[in-house]
Structure 1
Amino acid sequence: MTQRPFHHGNLRAVLLDEATAVVRESGVAGLSLRDLARRAGVSHGAPRSHFVDRQALLDALAQLGFERLTAAVRRALDAGGPLPDRLRRVAHAYVDFAVDDAALMDLMFETKVTQQSQGVQEAAGVLFGTLDGALGPAPGDEAEDGPRVTFKMLFAATMQGIAALVASGRIERPHGEHLVDSAMDTMLGSELAARVITAS
């Protein structure tokens, strides 16, 4: 493996790149600070200048995952067009990320919100705020079980479910893409969506 050049200012980024590669190859269980040091070509103690322990590394990875998914969602939204088209692009971007980085996605969502680091909570908040913003202005007095919240939860549960089927090999990726389109057609044609889109 060709070692990536680094200096004191970007070792953290190199370590996170290597950690992402490890998670893709062998899952979170394969991560260790000592192995990352070996992959980066630094002393085994060097990573601790950026991550005090393995949990700090996992938190940083989860935060990076939320940031990357948020960037993918924003790219999908930036193409513009009618709301249904934007939501379909967001759905595909969400599922693509969850399939390509399934282990990272699991890490991002496996910890209870109350146990997440502040950085992870903030990055997750930006993602969910971006997804919420895709629906347009939110009413200020909607209940926790209101139509907008229900639509967002249904969207996330459906897309993560489809991604899980693809990532586990239960269905082929083209089938998953078809399911995303079918699910969005169903959701966008529902009475629930009519209430949310009208309200926005």
Structure 2
Amino acid sequence: MTSQPYHHGKLREALLARAAEFIEEAGVDGLSLRQLARDLGVSHAAPGKHFRDKQALLDALALDGFRGMNARIIGASEAAGDHRSRFVRIARAYVDFAVSHPVLLAVMHSTKHHPDASDELRSIGEDGIRVARAVIAEAQGAGELAPGDCEMLALVCFVSLHGAAVLAAGNLLDGTSVDSLIVATTDLLWAGMATGMPAPHVSVKTGLA
């Protein structure tokens, strides 16, 4: 075993960091606590002190991922600027994270929707879309956007930006830059929200972000 700081109380953080790297390199199927132990130079039993099994590791990885992503989104929303520029920065923060961590993002969303997901994970998994919803509501209050169902609008924005991120992460943009796609998508979304949208026939619970 190598002598590293995580041997003295930081193994959990090291396991999560290596797991995040591993799944982007080799996917989720090959991830195992034993492999992480080998990668970090600790005993095979050491990871078990922090995670009872692979699912517990994925749960913690999802929670950690949402915290990191939400920090970016919240930072973007709190930066100086008008509502539209804040909206664009939020979109860019999400897409940039999604493109940089496509497998982790998939784990985050799938784990959040697992029947056994913790209340903490479900709540923190909604923080990003709550931030976007708040900016939309503020813009509506300022008269910059037409009145409308903020929950539905935030959902439409999420679906559009998530789709853009998936295409970008898969190198399926056929030469279009990610930034150009973000600008075009946010321009269309903002213009649509400024014009207004028909009232939905059914209520929508997001549960997606």
Aligned to 1:28: 28
Determine the structure 1 residue equivalent to 2:86: 86
For residues 18 and 175 of structure 2, the distance between their equivalents in structure 1, rounded to whole angstroms, comes to 26
Please tell me whether the aligned partners of residues 147 and 195 of structure 1 are also in contact (alpha carbons under 8 angstroms).
no
CA drift at 1:68 = 0.8
Question: For the residues of structure 1 that align with 2:29 and 2:37, how far apart are their CA atoms?
Answer: 16
In structure 2, the partner of 1:142 is none
User: Superposition pairs for residues 1-200 of structure 1, below 5 Å?
Assistant: 4-111=4-111, 112=113, 114-136=115-137, 147-171=149-173, 175-190=177-192, 192-193=193-194
TM-superposed CA distance for 1:194, in Å, is 5.3
Distance in 1 between the 2:106 and 2:98 partners?
A: 9
Map Cα deviations across residues 129-164 of structure 1 (whole Å, 9 max, x no partner).
Answer: 33333334699xxxxxx6211210111101110111
User: Cα distance 1:176–1:55, how it changes in 2: closer, same or farther (>3 A)?
Assistant: same
Q: C-alpha distance in 1, partners of 2:175/2:30?
A: 26
- Bigger proportion of residues as helix: 1
Instruction: Extract structure 1 runs of 4+ deviating beyond 6 A.
Output: none
Instruction: Give the fraction of aligned pairs with identical amino acids, expressed as a percent.
Output: 36
Deviates further, 97-106 or 22-31: 22-31
Superposition TM-score, scaled by structure 2 size? 0.81
Q: Measure the CA separation in 1 of the matches of 2:191 and 2:169.
A: 27
Question: How well do the aligned residues superpose, as a CA RMSD in angstroms?
Answer: 2.4
The answer for unaligned runs of 5 or more in structure 1 is: 140-145
Of the structure 1 ranges 150-159 and 116-125, higher mean CA displacement relative to structure 2 is found in: 116-125
TM-score by length of 1: 0.84
